[in-house]
């Protein structure tokens, strides 16, 4: 009996050893991929993300993530120069269109890996949404990267935010024109609306440069500028216009310099950095009368509700507009997933990516896992309130690469929600006042040839840097009228005509 028991134990040991060896062999057979992620500083280590682990298991792969939170541009440059790439890249601004097209031999042609049989969900996404296919396609028509279509996007960027509590205290109405705005700003400057007995109010506090979402460029529509999201380019019909060359821009900057001269904008804006800017907005006592932001999150939590979004104001000639964001908002048209040409077993990695295009998976890639960030109800998904001390803005990034993962946030995706997620609804409510005034004839995201990219690397830097420099100087010291002709000549000497012609050629290819 004892002998039989020993034999049985020995057999069990052999079986256990066999299973262990088989399991280890199976583990070794699982394709493993290294992916570098350009991540938000609020995003947790994706290697600990249980949802992504489950997704990888469904695809029969293992993913090792390297999340890069800071100094990505420097790191990226080293990688591209060396050619020693990870298996793939994922993330917001992980690579630019030109960085991909300029280095095509380094990257896999994903179009060769996409089919109804191998990647049914991604294939269906590209077939059902031609605009999304265009967003993912290079100039040669091939697909070297996947972009995304983001859900619940606003139709405009800019949000003018004004302290309504101050208006009410001073008996003032919401301004409808720039003339009325100036009267409001003078009252903010002189009549102590925050009630602390000090003249510490900053009537108008805005960045001097940057896109229309958070800079003085939001006022350009009041001066007949046709609307621009980035780079100050806009369209007049089908003609590309670089607005810093126009008389309208001259009038706009003259008005901005006037506000500074009247102390309606503080001199510090010429030198302030992001941390100092945000510190003013979140001061213990509210000191900013009006600003423009993407959302209210930089404003002190204790008094965010004092600020309301207002419509763009009419300028001296009755112009009243704001640039539409429709052309570039949902379809970001930039790489969110790029695979190395040297990646082994490309088909296996594409199985993983394909699963992200199932809407129920896509919402979790974009917002975070169901059961953590999202909650299932009878009516659909809702976003769980962030933990105490965490903003919506940081909460939506904690478990996901929000806005940086290849997903299709279309109507099917959005229909999974019982309500618009709080992180998006606040912005949508803010920009609703802009809709009657939006200019939809805005320049889309453009794609450039390698030759054009080479030229832009010189002329764009020179021209944009000079324009920003002059805007800052004119804000601080005035002199727009006196220096305008010299300024224009300098821009032409720098090659602004080449700059415009490259953008015109790129637009003509895509329109």
DSSP letters of 386-415?
PPTT--HHHHHHHSS-TTSS--B-SHHHHT
Q: Name the superfamily (CATH) of residues 31-152+330-419.
A: Periplasmic binding protein-like II (3.40.190.10)
Res 7 pLDDT > 60: no
- What are the residues whose beta carbons fall under 8 Å from the beta carbon of 237, sequence distance 6 or more? 441
Structure tokens at 14: 């052999």
pLDDT at 476: 97
Average pLDDT score over the chain: 91
Longest dimension (CA), the chain: 109
Cα–Cα dist 33/376, whole Å: 31
- Quick one: which of 128, 118, 125 has its CA closest to 59? 118
Model confidence pLDDT, tens digit, residues 327-338: 556 787 789 999
pLDDT at 334: 87
The three-state secondary structure class of 375 is strand
Model confidence pLDDT, tens digit, residues 491-510: 999 999 999 999 999 999 98
Res 287 pLDDT > 80: yes
pLDDT at 94: 95
pLDDT at 399: 92
Mean per-residue pLDDT, 94-117: 94
Res 25 pLDDT > 60: no
Are 46 and 369 within 8 A, CB to CB? Answer: no
Q: With residue 338 as reference, give the H or E element that holds it.
A: strand 337-339
pLDDT at 483: 99
Q: In what order do the strands lie in the sheet with 62-68?
A: 62-68, 32-38, 88-91, 337-339, 145-146
pLDDT at 27: 56
Bridge pairing between strands 288-292 and 160-163? antiparallel
Q: Which residues pair with 354 in a beta bridge?
A: none
Res 5 pLDDT > 60: no
pLDDT at 18: 41
pLDDT at 1: 44
pLDDT at 163: 99
Model confidence pLDDT, tens digit, residues 238-280: 999 999 999 999 999 999 999 999 999 999 999 999 899 999 9
Q: CATH 3.40.190.10 spans which residues of the chain? A: 31-152+330-419, 160-323+448-510
The three-state secondary structure class of 107 is strand
Mean per-residue pLDDT, 110-134: 96
CATH fold for domain 160-323+448-510: D-Maltodextrin-Binding Protein; domain 2 (3.40.190)
Q: Which residues pair with 377 in a beta bridge?
A: 380
Mean per-residue pLDDT, 113-131: 97
Cα–Cα dist 56/87, whole Å: 15
pLDDT at 406: 95
């Amino acid at each position: 009996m004892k002998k039989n028991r020993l034999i049985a134990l020995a057999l069990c040991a052999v079986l256990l050893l066999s299973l262990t060896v088989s399991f280890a062999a199976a583990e070794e057979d699982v394709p493993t991929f290294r992916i570098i992620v350009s991540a938000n500083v609020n995003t947790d280590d994706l290697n600990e993300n249980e949802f992504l682990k489950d997704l990888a298991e469904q695809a029969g792969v293992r993913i090792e993530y390297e999340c890069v939170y800071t100094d990505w541009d420097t790191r990226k440059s080293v990688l591209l120069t060396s050619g020693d790439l990870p298996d793939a890249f994922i993330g917001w601004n992980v690579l630019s269109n030109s960085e991909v097209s300029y280095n095509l031999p380094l990257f896999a042609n994903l179009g060769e890996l996409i089919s109804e049989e191998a990647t049914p969900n991604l294939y269906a996404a590209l077939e059902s949404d031609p605009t999304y296919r265009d967003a993912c396609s290079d100039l040669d028509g091939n697909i070297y990267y996947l972009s995304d279509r983001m859900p619940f996007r606003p139709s405009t960027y800019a949000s003018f935010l004004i302290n309504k509590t101050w208006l009410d205290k001073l008996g003032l109405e919401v301004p409808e024109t720039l003339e009325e705005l100036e009267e409001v700003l003078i009252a903010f400057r002189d009549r102590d609306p925050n009630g602390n007995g000090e003249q510490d109010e900053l009537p108008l506090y805005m960045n001097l440069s940057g896109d229309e979402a958070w800079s003085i460029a939001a006022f350009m529509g009041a001066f007949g500028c046709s609307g621009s999201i980035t780079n100050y380019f806009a369209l007049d019909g089908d003609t590309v216009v670089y607005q810093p060359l126009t008389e309208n821009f001259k009038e706009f900057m003259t008005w901005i310099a006037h506000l500074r001269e009247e102390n309606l904008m503080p001199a510090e804006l010429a030198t302030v950095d992001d941390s100092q800017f945000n510190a003013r907005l979140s001061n213990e006592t509210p000191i900013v009368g009006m600003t423009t932001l993407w959302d209210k999150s930089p404003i002190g939590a204790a008094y965010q509700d004092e600020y309301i979004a207002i419509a763009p104001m009419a300028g001296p000639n009755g112009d009243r507009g704001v640039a539409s964001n429709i052309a570039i908002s949902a379809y970001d048209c930039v790489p969110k997933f790029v695979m190395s040409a040297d990646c082994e077993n490309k088909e296996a990695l594409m199985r993983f990516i394909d699963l992200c295009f199932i809407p129920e998976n896509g919402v979790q890639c974009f917002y975070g896992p169901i059961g953590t960030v999202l909650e299932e109800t009878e009516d659909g998904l809702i976003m769980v309130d962030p933990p105490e001390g965490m903003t919506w803005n940081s909460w939506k990034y904690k478990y996901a690469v929000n806005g940086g993962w290849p997903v299709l946030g279309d109507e099917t995706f959005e229909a999974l929600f019982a309500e618009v997620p709080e992180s998006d609804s606040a912005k949508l409510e803010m920009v609703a006042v802009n809709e009657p005034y939006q200019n939809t004839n805005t320049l889309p995201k453009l794609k450039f040839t390698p030759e054009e990219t080479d030229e832009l690397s010189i002329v764009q830097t020179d021209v944009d840097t000079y324009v920003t420099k002059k805007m800052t100087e004119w804000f601080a010291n005035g002199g727009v009228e006196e220096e305008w002709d010299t300024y224009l000549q300098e821009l032409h000497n720098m090659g602004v005509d080449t700059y415009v012609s490259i953008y015109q050629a790129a637009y003509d290819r895509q329109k």
